[in-house]
Every structure is written in structure tokens, then in C-alpha cells.
A and B are shown apart, each in its own frame.
Chain A
Amino acid sequence: MAEASRSNAPWLLSGPGLVLFAALLGTPLILTVILSFYQFDYSIGGIKPAFSFENYRDVLTDPYFHKIFGRTFGVSLIVTVFCVLIGAPEAYILNRMRNPWKSLFLLVVIGPLLISVIVRTLGWALLFGGQGGISTVLQWLGIVDEPVSLMFTMTGMTIALVHVLVPFMVLAVWASLQRLDPQVEDAALSLGASQATVLRRIVLPQIMPGILSGSLIVFSLTASAFATPSIIGGRRMKVVSTTAYDEYLSTLNWPLGAAIAIVLLIATAIIIMSYNRLIERRYARVFE
């Protein structure tokens, strides 16, 4: 870096991008905020440009919306916890493997990030159905007597979302493991620590930043997930994204849909920022 310049070179270089973002991201967001204060007129089936807090009052007071927001953030929390519980150990195990297994399994674990969410969700829909693989296996094992379907259930939605998002957790933890000096574990062992103590006292604190940043990604992506909750959860398990979609494209109540989206944006932003603050306060001291 260095070049502490008062020249306008950096502004010229980043200018085109900034203009593009101002026009194509800033403007649309502002228009949506304005739209969220408008009213939907059911009698004419159109938008009435009259400023009011009506939509926000609906979203913030109606128990129907409370339930949807509660479900969305509840699922996000559960999915995040599961991703930590299975993603972090998997990253650690991967890191201890030798090549070529290490590269191969890393590819298998994080490669799905590049496969469309639709395809991955379809896979779960196939497994979850009454005739699907999971039902068959459960019956074969004698755990259940008749076909069970995980479609349109909270459990099914959670499993599918964990599958979709756990690669992000593995990646984040993997990245922090790469910065870990492998001799540090040997050092702790040589000082008499058991394998479990090494994990708890030496490895875990050092990969904590990775786990925390992975949690942040998983949480915010779950909160705004659309395709998976829509296909697996369906109408029965509506989340914020699917609700906004329905307001827009079924009910055509754009102002209300806009208000729902804005509340989601603000709620997510608040959660992310306070979490970030927490991470920084705890870890800035040790890790630069």
C-alpha cells in the first residue's frame, strides 16, 4: 500500500464502480424505502403515493408477522448452531488429513457452494418425500412404521439449510486453521496437555475468529434464504423472504412487501453489527 497520496487517482479508478453502485444500488434502495411508506389501495388494486407508517405498524404489531420473523431468526439461529457443531470439527479433521485426501474432500465439502441452491434443495425434496430415501431408510431400520415426510416441516427446512450453508462454516474455520502454527499443538503436548486439552485450550481459541465470522455468514444467509424455505417449507413454513415474495407477486401489495424487506434489512444489519462489535472487542487485542 503506502502511497499516501492526496492525488485523485484512487477516486478516478474507483469512480466508475461507485457511480454504478450509486445509480443501481443506492437509488433502488431509496425508492424502496419511499415505497414502503406508500399505501396499497385494494379498491383500485394500485399504489397510493400517500405517506404513512401504516405498513410498518402492520409488520411490527401483527402477530402474523411476529410469527414469521420469529421463525426466520429462530431457524437462522438453529442452523448457525448446527453449522458450528458439525462444520468446525469437519474443518479441523480435513486440515489434519494428508494429500491427496485433503484436497479431494475439501473439494467435496466446499464444491457444492458452486452448485445451484435449487439443485441442492431439490435433492433434499427427493429425500424428504413420503416415498423418498429418508422415509425408506427409517422404515427399513424399523424406527417408523409408515412413510414419513419431512417436507413442509421445520426439521426438513433446518436440515436442508444446514446442508446449503455448512460449507461456508467449513471455509471460514479452514481459513483460520491455515494461520495456525502446527508446532503449537506439539508444544502443548510436550508440556503435558492431553489431546482434549490441546483442542479446548489451544486450538479452539485460535479458530474462534473463524467460527464467529462463519456464524455471521451462515446466520445472515439463512435469514435471507428464499429458495430452500420456499421449496421445503412451502406455504406452511413461511419465512420473511417468502412472505415478501408473496406480497409482491401474489397479493401485489408492493408497499407492504417493501416494508417487510426493509424491516428484514434493518434487523439483519443490527444483528450483524452488534455481533461484529462483539467479535472485535474480544479478539482485536490478540489478532491485530
Chain B
Amino acid sequence: MRRNGLISLIFHTLFIIFIVAPLLAVVAVSFTGKGYLSLPTDGLSLRWFRTIWEYPGFIDAFWMSLYLGIAASTIAVAVAVPAAIAIGRYDFRGREGVMAVFLSPLMIPSVVLGVSFLRFFNQVGISGTFIGITLAHVIMVMPYAVRLVLASVTGMPRDAEQAAATLGASNWTVFRRITLPLILPGIAGGWLLAFITSFDEVTMSIFVASPETMTLPVRMYHHIAQTIDPLIAAISTLLMGATVLLLVLLDRLYGLDRVLVGKG
């Protein structure tokens, strides 16, 4: 009905340039054919994408991050579903407190989480193991899983369950046949957001990752700390491509703004 004025549109254009510029810079540099940082002025080259395969460290780190993300978000969602039902469905003393506990990793600086997990894993002797880093990531991504599942639990109509119960369904049947299908978008959205968060996490992981459990972002951080070259740009470009695919998937599945409100 109302349109944006000229000033608004100029502002918007500058804003979008600001958002996109660094991402485009990465993509542009990754297609260079030269051996150093430069724009691909004389034609696009896939040289640096081919070079990635000569660095098994990055390939291994990618698989590591993938397995870690899958494991952590699956465990987190499995724990988050009953918790979200408890919070969304029952009015009990301590409800707010339980919610605060599950959201607390958002409030604790990642560095604090990192040093704490490092100390703890050292003390119990699982430092540098896959189990250790997985458990750390479960805690880290739990708030996202809980939030999205909770949103779909509170958003679903109560009467469908009650109708099923009056039709003679047992509690378990009601859950399996009515509740679960209705909150499935929330579960799927929560899982994906948890996965992406785990896959991208650096700050906490940098403390707990050992050379054997080095995730991709941590490996990339260490690389950038040493040198910035077209190789790292190529890896970043691939990563962005994969994220865009996931983004589209997430949008189709759940509506991106709804998912990301969970992130905020």
C-alpha cells in the first residue's frame, strides 16, 4: 500500500551492498588463477578449488564437522522434544527455571563455555575425543532445538489431541499419531538450525578440538591466522554454496524468518 521513498531505497541499496560485499569478495578471489590474492581479472579459474583436494586436513575437518553436527543436533533434538513438551504443555513450579537452564548457553560467552569444557574434559579424561566435543556441541545447540520445538508445541492446537483422546487413543498413540506429526516442522527446523550452528561454531570448539577432532571452521581459523590465500577463499565459497542450499531447504520447510527468529 505505502511505498518506500527514494531515500529509503538508497539506504536499502547501500545496506545490501554492505551485507553482500565481503561475501562477494570471497567468491571473487576464489576464482582467481593466480598464485596470490587477486581478482580473477583474466578469466575464471577453478585452480584453487582443485587445490583443496591436496589438503587432506581440510577434507578430514569437513567430515569431522559433518559427523559432529549430525550427532550433536540429533542428540539435542531427542532431548529437546520431551523438554519442550514439558515446558509448553505443563504449568508447573520451576517451569521458567527449566526454560532458563535450556537457554543458558546463549547467555554464556562462548569463550567461557570453551574454557569450562576444556577443564572438565581434562578432569574426566575425555579431552580431545569425539565424544567430548560432541557433548560440548549438544549443550551449545540445545537452545535452538528447544526454542523451535517449543514454538511448534505452543503453536499447535490443543483440541486435536483432546479429540484423539476422546476417540479412544492412548497417550502414546496420541503422541505418535497426532502430536509428533504436528510438531514435526518444528523438530526438523530445530534440527537443521542446530546442525548449522554446530557446523559453524568456532569459539568454543577452538578450545576443545584436538588435532584429531579438528572441525572445519577451527581448521580454517588456524589457516587464516597464518596466511590468507585463495585456497581459503575457495573453501569458503564451497561452504557458502552449501549454506545457500540449506537455506533454501530451510525456507521451504519452515519459513526462514521463523527459524531465524529462533536464532535471535
Contacts and interface: CB of A to CB of B under 8 A. Distances in A.
Q: Do A and B bind each other?
A: yes
Interface of A: 1-5, 9-14, 16-18, 20-21, 24-25, 27-29, 31-32, 35, 86, 89-90, 93-94, 96-97, 105-127, 129, 131-133, 160, 163, 166-168, 171-172, 174-175, 182, 185, 214, 217, 220, 223-227, 230-231, 240-241, 244-245, 248-249, 254, 257-258, 261-262, 264-265, 268-269, 272
A24 B104 CA distance: 12
Contacts of A175: 261, 264
B141 interface: no
Nearest to A96: B4
How many B residues touch the partner, as a band? 35 or more
Contact of B260 (A27, A110, A127): A110
Contacts of A230: 221, 225
B148 interface: no
B115 interface: yes
Nearest to A107: B256
A134 to B, nearest CB: 9
B22 A10 contact: no
Given A133-B21, A224-B109, A32 B116 contact: yes
A105 B148 CA distance: 23
Contacts of B239: 115-116, 119
B89 A90 contact: no
B264 A31 contact: no
B217 A10 contact: no
B187 interface: no
B119 to A, nearest CB: 5
A126 B29 contact: yes
12 contacts: A10-B87, A13-B85, A17-B80, A25-B139, A31-B116, A111-B244, A122-B26, A122-B220, A127-B22, A171-B261, A241-B109, A262-B112
Interface string B123-140: 100000000000110110
Contacts of B167: none
B107 A269 contact: yes
Given A105-B16, A123-B236, 6 more contacts: A10-B86, A10-B90, A123-B23, A129-B228, A171-B260, A224-B110
Q: Considering residues B21, B92, B243, B251, which has the most beta carbons from chain A within 10 angstroms of its beta carbon?
A: B92
A107 B247 contact: yes
Contact of A119 (B92, B98, B116, B240): B240
B91 A31 contact: no
Given A231-B225, A258-B115, A118 B202 contact: yes
Nearest to A127: B25
A41 B264 CA distance: 42
Contacts of B113: 25, 28
Interface majority SS (helix, strand, loop, mixed), chain A: helix
B222 to A, nearest CB: 10
Contact of A224 (B3, B118, B203): B203
B185 interface: no
Contacts of A123: 21-26, 236
Contacts of A174: 257
A126 B22 contact: yes
Contacts of A124: 22
Contacts of B82: 12-14, 16-17
A261 B247 contact: no
B104 A116 contact: no
B15 interface: yes
A35 B236 contact: no
Contacts of A223: 109
A31 B111 contact: no
Interface in B220-262: 220-221, 224-225, 228, 232-233, 236, 239-240, 243-244, 246-247, 250-251, 256-257, 260-261
